[in-house]
């Protein structure tokens, strides 16, 4: 129960309060008092809790299968130093650093995170974090809506389907239209109709993801950017795999006004979907529209360097209904994990990890496309995942792989009916040549079985 009170403590404290019993202390009107017994899980000792959760763990597969899943959540190597530092109690159990004098360490770490995000994206400024990649996109689009006063947004279909779905949820609240741009034959965003679509200046923003959901590098071509600029539309660039920022031309360099994304890859576990860490970075011009917390560097009254939460006039606890967002609690500890990871890896380590992702993905692609019947679906260059066309149905192929101890990737038909014969496959620095070999062998078996059946 984690309550330290002895019966004597309770007696003494009740006497000070002047109430006879705990029941008297918490009494509520009969109409709202609890009557029926509560159906909460039973109380256990700590050792029994550990056993219970070992049972839950035994009912999941993580580690028991070779996995080629990515699609917005990536398994990477995390040096033990990251957890050892991040789990220090001062960080883990700290409150939001509103009391700057006793939060200098955490505030400096967030300032360093903001700097890392700015350096990685090439943007001028970044916030302290938002919930995840999808909500970062929604909040980034709200920035663009507020900047332009327009009520519609144009999103590439190659943006992560979950991100687009969350954007539609948020847009529903704001009565904003979400229209989509198709993808082209090579797996990148089809921008041939973009200039025409933007001509009437209806859209607040164009949203493109690179690498996109199919893994393809999808930085917009210059002509598309010109159409965006000339119609005073903002370009929102999504990065769902933050590690790619170490290898690819950063969002600022391909014209992005608002860079949003997911930083889970930097030291955070996939953790069945959370917590992860969203980021938003932007230009000086859009700084005051950025949602959530910002840490600034300033001086204390004795002239020493000091860090503090700043520009709070944007935030809900000051502006209430006029705030740039309702966000309050964000993902500080996940951002701290990412900051420590980035500090430990450094530019050299991060580039090496990114290069290994490219290398393993190339190796995976070569291995699976060497199996008769399998082919890469899209030709555009990729970072660490790609769409593989399989003989027959992707869902069937994945079921067959699962029987062989392999989670082969994501069935793209789940989000794109026209890609029901495609699997999104991912390789990272943790993907081993042995795993790739087993996958290729299994795919060959499946193809043979499929031929035998047909």
Partner 1 sequence: MLAPETPPIFETGQPGRANRYVPPAPPLSEFLPAAAVRHELPLPDNSELDVIRHFTRLSQKTFGIDTNFYPLGSCTMKYNPRINDALANLPALRDLHPFAPDELAQGALAIMWELERSLASLFGMAAFSLNPAAGAHAELTALLIAKAYFKKKGDARRTTVIVPDTAHGTNPASAAMVGYNVVSLKSDARGRVSLEAIQAAAGPDTAVCMMTNPNTLGLFEDQIHEIAAAVHAAGGLMYYDGANANALMGNSRPGDMGFDLMHLNLHKTFSIPHGGGGAGAGPVGVAAHLVPFLPVPVVRADDVDEASGRWPSDGRTFALDFDRPDSIGPMRSFWSNYAHMVRALAYCYANGAEGLTRVSQLAVLNANYIRASIRDLIDIPYDEINRHEFVASAQSIKRETGVRAFDIGKALLDRGYHAPTVYFPLLVPECIMIEPTETESKETLDGFIAALREILIAARENPQSVIDAPVNTAVSRVDETRAARRPDLRWEPEKG
Nearest to 183 by CA among 204, 206, 152, 155: 155
- From residue 163, alpha-carbon distances to 170, 176, 383 in Å are 11, 16, 19
Residue 440 beta carbon to partner 1: minimum distance, rounded to whole angstroms: 19
CA–CA separation, 371 and 368 (whole Å)? 5
Each residue 208-227 as x (binds partner 1 by CB under 8 A) or -, in order, gives ---------x-x--------
Residues 91-120 that bind partner 1 (CB under 8 A): 91-97, 99-106, 108-112, 114-116, 118-120
Rg of the chain (C-alpha set): 25
Cα three-residue angle 186-189-190, rounded to 5 degrees = 85
Comparing CB distances to partner 1, the nearer of 228 and 238 is 238
Q: Considering the rule CB under 8 A, would residue 367 count as an interface residue with partner 1?
A: no
Q: Which residues of 197-206 are buried (b: 16+ CB within 10 A; e: fewer)?
A: bbeeebbbbb
- How many residues can be counted in the chain? 454
Residue 329 beta carbon to partner 1: minimum distance, rounded to whole angstroms: 4
Q: Considering the rule CB under 8 A, would residue 358 count as an interface residue with partner 1?
A: yes
Residues 140-169 that bind partner 1 (CB under 8 A): 142, 160, 162-163, 165-166, 168-169
Residues 372-411 that bind partner 1 (CB under 8 A): 381, 398, 402, 407, 410
Residues 37-96 that bind partner 1 (CB under 8 A): 37-44, 46, 48-50, 52-65, 67, 69, 71-73, 75, 77, 79, 81, 83-85, 87-96
Within 13 Å of residue 198, how many CA atoms lie on the same side as its CB? 25
Residues 273-312 that bind partner 1 (CB under 8 A): 273-277, 287, 293-302, 304-308, 310-312
Residue 181 beta carbon to partner 1: minimum distance, rounded to whole angstroms: 20
Please, are residues 383 and 217 in contact by the beta-carbon 8 Å criterion?
A: yes
* Interface size with partner 1, residues (CB under 8 A): 200
Q: Considering the rule CB under 8 A, would residue 265 count as an interface residue with partner 1?
A: no
CB atoms under 10 Å from CB of 223, counted, come to 12
Question: Would strands 234-239 and 258-262 be described as parallel, antiparallel, or unpaired?
Answer: parallel
Comparing CB distances to partner 1, the nearer of 127 and 231 is 127
Token pair, residue 447, equals 């193809």
Stretch that binds partner 1, among 172-180, 188-196, 231-239, 441-449 (CB under 8 A): 172-180
Q: Considering the rule CB under 8 A, would residue 345 count as an interface residue with partner 1?
A: yes
């Amino acid at each position: 129960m984690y309550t330290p009170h002895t019966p004597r403590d309770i007696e003494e404290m009740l006497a000070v309060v002047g109430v006879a019993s705990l029941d008297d202390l918490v009494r509520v009107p009969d109409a709202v008092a609890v009557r029926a017994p509560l159906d909460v899980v039973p109380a256990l000792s700590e050792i029994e809790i550990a056993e219970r959760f070992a049972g839950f763990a035994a009912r999941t597969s993580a580690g028991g299968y070779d996995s080629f899943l990515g699609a917005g959540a990536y398994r990477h190597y995390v040096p033990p130093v990251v957890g050892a530092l991040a789990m220090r109690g001062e960080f883990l159990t700290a409150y939001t650093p509103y009391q700057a004098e006793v939060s200098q360490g955490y505030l400096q770490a967030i300032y360093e995170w903001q700097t890392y995000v700015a350096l990685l994206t090439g943007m001028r400024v970044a916030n302290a974090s938002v919930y995840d990649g999808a909500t970062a996109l929604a909040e980034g689009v709200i920035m663009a809506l507020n900047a332009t006063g327009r009520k519609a947004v144009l999103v590439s279909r190659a943006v992560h389907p979950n991100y687009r779905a969350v954007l539609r949820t948020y847009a529903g609240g704001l009565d904003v239209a979400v229209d989509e741009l198709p993808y082209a034959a090579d797996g990148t965003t089809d921008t041939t109709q973009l200039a025409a679509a933007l001509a009437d200046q209806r859209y607040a923003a164009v949203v493109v993801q690179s690498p996109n959901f199919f893994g393809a590098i999808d930085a917009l071509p210059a002509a598309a950017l010109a159409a965006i600029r000339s119609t005073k539309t903002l370009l929102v660039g999504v990065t769902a795999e933050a590690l790619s920022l170490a290898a690819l031309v950063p969002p600022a360099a391909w014209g992005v006004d608002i860079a949003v994304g997911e930083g889970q890859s930097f030291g955070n576990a996939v953790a069945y979907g959370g917590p992860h860490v969203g980021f938003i970075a932007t230009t000086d011009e859009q700084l005051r529209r950025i949602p959530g917390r910002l840490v600034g560097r300033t001086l204390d009254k004795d002239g020493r360097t000091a860090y503090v939460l700043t520009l709070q006039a944007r935030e809900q606890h000051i502006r209430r209904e006029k705030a740039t967002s309702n966000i309050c609690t964000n993902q500080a500890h996940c951002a701290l994990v990412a900051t420590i990871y980035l500090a430990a890896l450094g530019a050299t380590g991060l580039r090496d990890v990114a290069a290994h992702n490219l290398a393993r993905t190339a190796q995976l692609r070569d291995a699976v496309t060497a199996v008769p019947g399998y082919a890469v679906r899209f030709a555009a260059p990729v970072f660490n995942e790609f769409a593989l066309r399989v003989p027959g149905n992707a869902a069937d192929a994945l079921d067959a792989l699962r029987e062989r101890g392999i989670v082969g990737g994501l069935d793209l038909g789940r989000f794109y009916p026209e890609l029901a014969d495609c699997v999104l496959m991912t390789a990272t620095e943790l993907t081993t040549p042995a795993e790739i070999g087993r996958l290729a062998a299994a795919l060959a078996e499946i193809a043979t079985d499929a031929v035998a059946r047909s």
